[in-house]
Structure 1
Amino acid sequence: MEKQSGKLNGLEKHGRRNNIRIAGLAEASINNNNNKTTSETAEEASKAIIKFLNEKIKGLNLCINYIDIAHRLGRRDTNSKPRAAIVKFVSRHKRDQVMKTRRNLKGFGIFLNDDLTKQNQAVLMSIKR
């Protein structure tokens, strides 16, 4: 059973290797025809993330072709902080380039982290404690 769990975690980790999580980035509010606010689409999230990263990290030059998909996590709650976003890059090279320059975001309240599996996240938190 433990061996299967380890293999499953390895597969899940492999599937997340091109992903990063972004916490603290404000969400765009979109008003539709019925004056209801809707969540941003994957395309809008991708464009907002690219715009923010290109503005704050000089020389990064991200474009929409570098991102496979980006979306918010969890349910939208109007009274809470912005939901975290997952960004899946087309290549690990570009993802690593973004992660290497994440120190430039210090002081903006935006945090870029690896997209860890639940098991690996638990291990990391136990080490930090």
Structure 2
Amino acid sequence: MYSSTNMSKMEKRKERSDNVIDSSMDVHDYAASASNECDYSTTPLPDTPSKPPAQKKGKILNSDELADSAIISTLSALINNRSDALEGMISANAIKIEELKQTIDFVCAEVKDLQKNVKDVNVRLKAQERLGGANETRISDLERYSRRWNLRLFGVPETYKENIRSEVIRVCGETYPEARSKYPDAVDSVHRLGKGGDNTRPRAIIMQFTSRVVRDALWKAAKKSQFLKNNNLRFAEDLTSSDRERRRILWPKVKEARAAGKSAYYIGARAFIDGIEISP
């Protein structure tokens, strides 16, 4: 049990606490009323001391972290160096590409000019080809016309120091006697063709006439001359190389037609069978 002394102490403490509560309530009310009446602008506030912000302590790296950091720094420096080198190369290549582009543009312009020149040359060349073809045809016609004054004679034996013109006039007189008196004047120039030295086969003789009438009459009579057949002699037209080649190609058809009893003959380089012209 508690003693009377202790009881009195506890009662006193309780009493003091109640007084404190009552006084605080009174102060609160006073402060609330006083706050409405006080002018804080005239009452300076005390300075609040400020502390500088505390510095953060650096983290202490261990050996592995230091090695990784060194590797990263090395790689970063290497990447920067490579990047700088690539930028330099790109810049240099850009200059070279621009120069190359200018060169290509120049070459393209030159090519266009050349193409135009080639086109003009082709046009002129085609014109020259047409003109050349026309001139070739004209020359061939002139040559063919001039050769119509000639005849070739095959089969006359060659002799030493022969008088070939006298022998030709004799053969012509035997082939077509009607113009015998005209041959000395009608037969102009006579000579053998090719080089001598081959005694197995006599060279052909070419004759140039001054009269187409005498020449044509002799040529017509030679086709049916018995004298020529008996002496293995033969007259032929003096053809151009192209006409001779065309006749050579047509000869098999002419020969076949003659063997079949048909009328086959030549007029110049043209071949006819029963009056119808044949083609190669």
How many aligned residue pairs are there? Answer: 117
Paired residue for 1:7, among 135, 138, 142?
138
Q: Is the 1:22–1:86 contact (alpha carbons within 8 Å) kept by the matching residues of 2?
A: yes
The equivalent of 2:148 in structure 1 is 17
Structure with a larger share of its residues in helix: 2
Q: Structure 1 regions of 5+ residues with no counterpart?
A: 31-39
Q: Mean Cα displacement is larger for which, 91-100 or 1-10?
A: 1-10
Secondary structure, in 3 states, of the residue corresponding to 2:217?
A: helix
Give 1:51 deviation, angstroms. Answer: 1.2
The equivalent of 2:195 in structure 1 is 75
Paired residue for 1:27, among 158, 173, 179?
158
Q: Is the 1:46–1:64 contact (alpha carbons within 8 Å) kept by the matching residues of 2?
A: no
Secondary structure, in 3 states, of the residue corresponding to 2:178?
A: coil
Deviations 1:84-109 (A, max 9, x none): 00000101000011101102122321
Paired residue for 1:84, among 180, 204, 214?
204
The equivalent of 1:121 in structure 2 is 244
The equivalent of 1:112 in structure 2 is 235
Distance 1:93 1:57, change over 3 A: closer
TM-score of the superposed pair, with normalisation by structure 2: 0.39
Q: Is the 2:175–2:221 contact (alpha carbons within 8 Å) kept by the matching residues of 1?
A: no
TM-score of the superposed pair, with normalisation by structure 1: 0.81
Percent identical across equivalent pairs? 27
Distance 1:17 1:57, change over 3 A: closer
Give 1:68 deviation, angstroms. Answer: 1.2
Q: Which amino acid aligns with 2:235?
A: L
Give 1:63 deviation, angstroms. Answer: 3.0
